[in-house]
């Protein structure tokens, strides 16, 4: 049973085995990393807390710290794999109030690099070609996930949070 | 001397004594909380890392953990003071690549509550009335800062990160 049956992210965590293989990037102790839809921002992941909570300070301290460490670990893996211009971290929850971090690696060649990603996504709602461009990475979703997994798996050898 | 003389946030940290009193909300060990300009989102703060670093994983682990604890502490203080519908956490750095968290408390009566704040700010660039509305809170900036300071100061008695 999902923790909160009416929560779309609880539902998703409960049905991980039904996800396309490339969507489930990594299972951490306190969170699950999913490959996001907007792979123009190549490596974009959503890191979902395993515990249903609305705000970070609702988590027990050890869980919160663990979750934030996993956020940093995943961000560094994305950074190592795709060498973005800048990582963008966002925990909003305005539509789905179950803790999740959006980790958007911003490309060096993004014409909107100085702005938040949401402006482009809003425009994409009315522009099918833009939507397709923003959902498509330079390599396949499967290849993106494979790179991220290899980097996280070999984390202690290939990179360290230092 | 600022750590990086060409960095606007290093400059700001170096000149804290020159800021208007109500802008300097709190000085934490690893960060400084500044009252942001968009006080329609009442209690909106920017939490600037004292150390100049571009990405979280560039900070030494103990500094990073301390900075993230301060982020949670400040978010909880904003939550206690202004009881938003949802807290939005964002670390972007697309324009100023010195670590800083935007903490936006989202109002219950915000007609754009389901969307990221940046869409409204973008529209405000072309709409002076909207800009003024989004920069103005229901109480003065001085009163907002006073509430936040009281809450952080009495943190161990009035709230706990639990």
Closest CA–CA distance from residue B73 to any residue of chain A (Å): 8
Residue B100 in contact with residue B92, Cβ under 8 Å?
Answer: no
Residue A100 main-chain phi, psi, to 5 deg: -155, 140
Q: If we measure between CA atoms, which residue out of A89, A82, A61 comes closest to residue A144? A: A82
Give me the mean pLDDT over the B108-116 stretch. 97
The string of pLDDT tens digits covering residues A7-41 is 999 999 999 999 999 999 999 999 999 999 999 99
Give me the mean pLDDT over the A50-68 stretch. 97
Checking if the pLDDT of B157 tops 90, the result is no
- Chain B residues with CB under 8 Å of A116 CB are 90, 92, 94, 116, 118
Give me the mean pLDDT over the B137-162 stretch. 82
- Taking the C-alpha atoms of residue A157 and residue B129, their distance in angstroms, rounded to an integer, is 54
Note the pTM of the prediction, 2 decimals: 0.94
Predicted pLDDT of residue B113: 97
Checking if the pLDDT of A156 tops 70, the result is no
Residues forming a β-bridge with A100: A48
Residue B65 main-chain phi, psi, to 5 deg: -65, -40
Residue B57 in contact with residue A86, Cβ under 8 Å?
Answer: no
* Chain B interface disruption, residue of A60, A94, A114, most B CBs within 10 A: A94
**What are the tokens at A73?**
């670990």
Residues 105-144 of chain A whose Cβ lies under 8 A from any Cβ of chain B: 106, 113-116, 118-119, 122
Sheet bearing A100-106, strands edge to edge: A24-27, A31-35, A45-49, A100-106, A86-91, B86-91, B100-106, B45-49, B31-35, B24-27
- Taking the C-alpha atoms of residue A93 and residue B30, their distance in angstroms, rounded to an integer, is 26
Predicted pLDDT of residue B161: 46
Where does the pLDDT of residue B121 fall: very low under 50, low under 70, confident under 90, or very high at 90 and above?
very high
CB contact under 8 A, A114 and B95: yes
CB contact under 8 A, B75 and A56: yes
Taking each helix axis as running N to C, give the angle between helix A117-124 and helix A128-135, from 0 to 180 degrees, rounded to the nearest 10: 130
């Amino acid at each position: 049973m999902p923790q909160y049956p009416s929560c779309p992210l609880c539902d998703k965590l409960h049905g991980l085995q039904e996800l396309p293989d490339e969507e489930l990037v990594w299972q951490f102790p306190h969170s699950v990393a999913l490959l996001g839809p907007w792979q123009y921002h190549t490596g974009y992941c959503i890191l979902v807390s395993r515990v249903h909570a609305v705000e970070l300070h609702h988590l027990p301290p050890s869980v919160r710290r663990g979750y934030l460490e996993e956020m940093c670990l995943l961000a560094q893996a994305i950074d190592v794999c795709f060498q973005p211009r800048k990582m963008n971290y966002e925990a909003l929850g305005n539509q789905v109030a179950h803790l999740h971090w959006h980790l958007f690696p911003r490309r060096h060649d993004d014409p909107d690099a100085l702005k938040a990603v949401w402006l482009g996504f809003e425009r994409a709602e009315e522009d099918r070609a833009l939507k397709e461009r923003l959902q498509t990475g330079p390599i396949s979703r499967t290849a993106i996930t494979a790179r991220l997994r290899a980097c996280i798996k070999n984390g202690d050898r290939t990179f360290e949070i230092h």
